[in-house]
Amino acid sequence: MVELVQDNWILFVIALIIGLLVAWWIFAATRRTKVEIEHRDEAEATPARRNQALIDSPPAAAAASELPPATPVGMAGVGEALATAATPAPPAVEEEAPPSPTATAPTQDASPALAPTVAAPEAAPAPAGSDELLRIKGLGPKLADQLRTLGITSLAQIAAWDDVEIDRVDAQLGRFQGRIRRDNWVEQARLLISGDVPAYEERFGKL
C-alpha cells in the first residue's frame, strides 16, 4: 500500500486539494451569501433614511392642498371670471402661512436672526417623532407605515416590548414576519433611546 501511495502521490495531493476546494466552496462560499444578505439589509436601511425627507414632505403637501381649495370654493360662487382673477390669491395664502411660524418672532423684534434659529429646533423634533422608527436597522418605510397603522410610532414603545407583545405585533407584519427578532428591534430601540451610540455601533454597525 505504501508503494501504491508513493507511486501515485500526485493523485493523492490532487484529491486532497479537490477536497479542500469543495469544503471551502461549501463552508466559505455559503458564508459569502450571508454577507450579501446583510448588505441587502443595509441597502434597505439607507433608502429608509433618504425617505425621511419624503415622509416629512407629505404634511407640508397636505397643508398646501388643504389651503388652496379654500380659495376656489370661495370663488366658485362668484364665477369663473373671478376664479381666474383669484390667481393672486395663492400669494395671499403664502402670506398667511408665514405668520404662524413668525407669530413667536414679533416678541423678538430686536433680533430677527433669532426667529429662524428658534423655528428650526421646533421643526426638527416633529419629523424625528414620525421617523424615529426608521433609525432601527432593518426597519424601512413600508414597515414603519405598517407599524404606524398598528399604533406604534416611537422607539420607546418598541423598547418596552416583551415576548408576548413581540409575538402579537409580529403576527400582524405579514411578509415581514420574523423581522423583529431577526433584527433585534427591541435591543436596537433600547440602545438608541439610551443614546449609547458606541454600544449600538459595536452591536449593529454604524448609525
- Residue ranges in contact with other proteins by CB under 8 A: 1, 4-5, 8, 11-12, 15-24, 26-28, 30-31, 34, 184, 204
Alpha helix positions (H), 77-162: 80-85, 89-96, 99-102, 114-123, 125-131, 141-149, 155-159
**With respect to other proteins, which residue has the nearer C-beta, 91 or 198?**
198
**With respect to other proteins, which residue has the nearer C-beta, 200 or 204?**
204
- Among 78, 71, 120, residue whose Cα is nearest residue 96: 71
Min. distance of Cβ 25 from other proteins in angstroms?
9
Cβ-count burial of 60 within 10 angstroms (0-12 exposed, 13-18 middle, 19+ buried)?
A: exposed
Q: Which residues contact 28 (CB under 8 A, 6 or more apart)?
A: none
Min. distance of Cβ 7 from other proteins in angstroms?
9
* Amino acid at site 91: P
Rounded-to-integer distance, Cα 115 and Cα 112, Å: 6
Min. distance of Cβ 122 from other proteins in angstroms?
38
Min. distance of Cβ 24 from other proteins in angstroms?
5
- Among 115, 92, 117, 93, residue whose Cα is nearest residue 102: 115
**With respect to other proteins, which residue has the nearer C-beta, 5 or 197?**
5
**With respect to other proteins, which residue has the nearer C-beta, 31 or 175?**
31
**With respect to other proteins, which residue has the nearer C-beta, 11 or 92?**
11
Min. distance of Cβ 134 from other proteins in angstroms?
20
